[in-house]
Amino acid sequence: MNHSAVETASVLPALVIFVPTATAVLIFAFGRFVSWLREALAFVGVTCALILSVIIGYKTLHGEILTSFETQLYADSLSALLINMVSLVSFVAVVYSLKYMWHQVKEGGLPHTTTSGRLTAFYGWLMLFISTMIWACLSNNIIMLYVAVEASTIASGLLVAFYWDKRALEAGYKYLMLLTVGITFSLFGCVLLYATGSNLPGVGGAKGLLISELKLHASSFPITTIILASAFLIIGFGTKAGVAPFHPWLPDAHAEAPTPVSALLSGVMIKVAMYALVRTVTIFYPTFSPVAMFALGLGVFTLVIGDLMALAQDDLKRMLAYSSVSQIGYILMGFGIGTQLGIYAGLFHMVNHAIAKALLFLAAGAVIYSTGVRNISQLGGLAKKMPITSFCFFIGALAVSGMPPLNGFHSKLALFVAGADAGNWWAVGFGIAASLVTLVVLLKAAKNIFWGKESEAVANTSVREAPLTVVISMLILAILCLGVGLYPKAVYPPIKEAASYVQTINTSNKKVAVAENPKVGKPNDRSSKKILKIEF
Amino acid sequence: MTHISPELIHTLSLLMILTSFAAVEARNLRHSTVAYLAQALLICGLLFAYSTQNSALLYWAVTALITKAVLVPWFLWNATAGHEQETKPLIGFGPSAVILIALLAIMYKLTHMHAGLFVAQTQELAEIANTNLAVAFTVFVLGLYAILTRRDAIKTVIGLCLLENGVHLSLVSLAPTIRETALAGIATEVVVTVYLLLYIIGGIRSKFGTTDTFKLSELHW
């Protein structure tokens, strides 16, 4: 752990979970009776969650670790980074939904007879989904981490099946079934860690449930237990994160869910699962570095598979979903490199992809909203009628592809530098090649949709720019992509601080990396010097 | 501390395997539900038996009784009303029986040779813990087998329930002192997941006219 940080008992971690949960309860209770109430409640709830997350982020950045319920909820810089990411994308998704979902529920939805009933269900489950993701990022209890991650699956299950047509129902069934089976493996892993940890000298009893305690004693775990637990955790949380070959649920769910939910699924939910994976598995990096090598291999496999599958898609949302598989591969690659710079780059790409992919999904939703068409081949020449959406889509596409001067460029560059620095040239080679494929896939789609001759679907309908709330939410994310791209120093401190809470391997001597104070890094840790080079 | 009879544990464990097999192989979904209910009651029996050694498990036993033996069978019973016959599965009874025996042998061997990997235990409880783990892993793998080889969506939910039962049973040996809040969280999630899955399967039945998962082909690569 970071020894310079001070643990402080605080109500904030509990409050940031409680607020969206209470909002959900109020929406379910009163949403049907007052037409504007559910939207107002959702907006207020998610805004409060965002403000609380920012406060937690500020405090953790200034040397505090906030804890609630003894240390069951634990907000260090890593958790704070994640909850800020979740709250920000959730805020944008809720703003986007305000007008968008009114339009969508006219075409159907959960088997409620009224528009009001459908919207109440939508906002209620949405707020529960947000609160469970925040809970997962703050849980220090390893079993409750599993419970929170699974709760986020449950809360989003009906959102995936929201349109209640054949495609949505099929996606919802696969989503709930595959993720529950997958995540059950992670329960085995969590229980194994607890069972072994609680029997170690100095841990014992309920302390064995705390990740912060297990991390301190990870070097005492038998290697066989480490291998078994890591395998279960990678299968379990990896399934939820969309890591190949456990990803088949992802394109279905992300494509068939309502667009604001797609933005949350691709933007943040898979990152929350990746966070759970990182929180648990990396505690063994100093003791048993082959775990990192396995993660690296899996990451590279995932980024290649995701990109190749994205190439073959004509459905716009499905193509973006496969692109998310690819980008989660990059993030896993960063964590698999395992050095301080690798972890830093993985976290940086996690944040950048959350912003850029949410933007792409929201822009895709705006296109579908205005044209009613989601096949790329049936679209064309939209830029004249939807200039802001066109601009936002191109920004998102270039950011995800890692083009300068956008945010994705910096994190991908950091990933490749980290890979090269650790001697993993083969991974860097695959990463660069896959990045080029991503660029081709996304720019080709953008060109077909927005440039050229107007297609029949675009010309024949009264297509125009999406409503104001939709445009505003897209612009917020587009500005963030540009802002972080042009001035990346602004986000270095929280990401660097968050990275200091993840254990690393040491590539310079292939031995145990320091677990005492990873924030500072050892004098011979080349990767820590690399961060300084990038920063200054 | 009250002594647990190893014979009792072995008998309950054997019955657990048999009820799992019956839940997977019964072609009538309501018969499968009854087999699942019997298994849930057996788990409760096992947990009550273990709770004489570890009182923390009493809470787990009561929770299991409510969730596994009452709520989940009730949901399954309602979901199968008027649709009791299962879609023909990929693998029939004979091969399934062979697979079950092979699985049981492998799990028994694995847990008795390598149980130390999973759980620290005293010598006197080793046999009980090893047997319990062997049964838990077999039930888990049988659940996975059902999900992979059964075409009927409701049968896959029963498979999921078996899978969860296997994990929960293993908790008895691996983490008997786990906190009540964690246990409540785990148990509640299973019930809610099963309810939501059956709710969605109800929608699938009304839109597709079947619960055959092979007919769910709207979404391709």
pLDDT tens for each residue of chain B, 221 residues long: 456 677 777 788 788 889 999 999 999 999 999 999 999 999 888 888 878 777 777 888 888 899 999 999 999 999 998 888 888 888 888 888 888 888 878 877 777 676 565 555 555 556 667 777 888 888 998 999 999 999 999 999 999 999 999 988 888 777 777 777 777 888 888 999 999 999 999 999 999 999 999 888 777 65
Q: Which residues of B touch A184 (CB under 8 A)?
A: 163-164, 167
A353 pLDDT tier (thresholds 50, 70, 90): very high
Q: How many secondary structure helices (H) and strands (E) does chain A include? A: 21, 3
Q: Which two tokens stand for residue A224?
A: 């066989």
Residues 6+ apart with CB under 8 A from A389: A363, A366, A367, A370, A382, A465, A466, A471, A474
Could you identify the residue written with the tokens 């049907």?
Answer: A32
What average pLDDT does chain A have?
Answer: 90
Q: What is the pLDDT of residue A525?
A: 44
A451 reaches B (C-beta below 8 A): no
SS3 track for A135-172: HHHHECEHHHHHHHHHHHHHHHHHHHCCCCCHHHHHHH
Q: What is the pLDDT of residue A398?
A: 97
Q: What is the pLDDT of residue B119?
A: 54
A413 pLDDT tier (thresholds 50, 70, 90): very high
Among the partner-chain residues A165, A166, A187, the one whose CB lies closest to the CB of B167 is: A187
Burial profile A39-69: b = 16 or more Cβ within 10 angstroms, e = fewer? bebbbebbbbbbebbebbbebbeeebbbbbe
Q: What is the pLDDT of residue A9?
A: 94
SS3 track for A264-331: HHHHHHHHHHHHHHHHHHHHHCCCCCHHHHHHHHHHHHHHHHHHHHHHCCCEHHHHHHHHHHHHHHHH
In terms of Cα–Cα distance, which of A395, A324, A396 is closest to A360?
Answer: A396
pLDDT digits (tens, 9 = 90+) for A420-477: 999 999 999 999 999 999 999 999 999 999 998 888 888 876 788 999 999 999 999 9
- Inform me whether the pLDDT recorded for A191 exceeds 90: no
Output the CA–CA distances (angstroms, integers) from residue A500 to A1, A107, A342, in the order listed: 8, 48, 12
**Do B197 and A256 count as a contact with CB atoms less than 8 A apart?**
no
A421 reaches B (C-beta below 8 A): no
Q: Percent of chain A scored above 70 by pLDDT?
A: 92
Q: What is the pLDDT of residue B126?
A: 64
Q: What is the pLDDT of residue B1?
A: 47
- Inform me whether the pLDDT recorded for A519 exceeds 90: no
Q: Which two tokens stand for residue B94?
A: 């004979």
Amino acid at site A101: M
**Do A161 and B200 count as a contact with CB atoms less than 8 A apart?**
yes
**Residue A9 DSSP code:** E
Q: Which of A208-222, A501-515, B81-95 has the lowest mean pLDDT?
A: A501-515
What average pLDDT does this structure show over A227-234?
93
Q: Which two tokens stand for residue B11?
A: 């008998």
Burial (Cβ within 10 Å: 0-12, 13-18, ≥19) of residue A297:
middle
Q: What is the pLDDT of residue A458?
A: 83
Q: What is the pLDDT of residue B221?
A: 57
Write down the pTM of the prediction.
Answer: 0.92
Q: Which residues of A touch B193 (CB under 8 A)?
A: 150, 153-154, 157, 176, 180
Q: How many secondary structure helices (H) and strands (E) does chain B include? A: 8, 0
**Do A157 and B196 count as a contact with CB atoms less than 8 A apart?**
yes
Among the partner-chain residues B192, B193, B203, the one whose CB lies closest to the CB of A164 is: B203
- Inform me whether the pLDDT recorded for A276 exceeds 80: yes
Residues composing chain A: 536
Strands (DSSP E) along chain B, which ranges?
none
**Do B179 and A209 count as a contact with CB atoms less than 8 A apart?**
yes
**Three-state DSSP class for residue A16:** helix
Tell whether ipTM is more than 0.90. Answer: yes
Q: What is the pLDDT of residue A363?
A: 97
Which of B160, B189, B201, B208 is the mutation pick for testing A, counting most A CBs within 10 A? B189
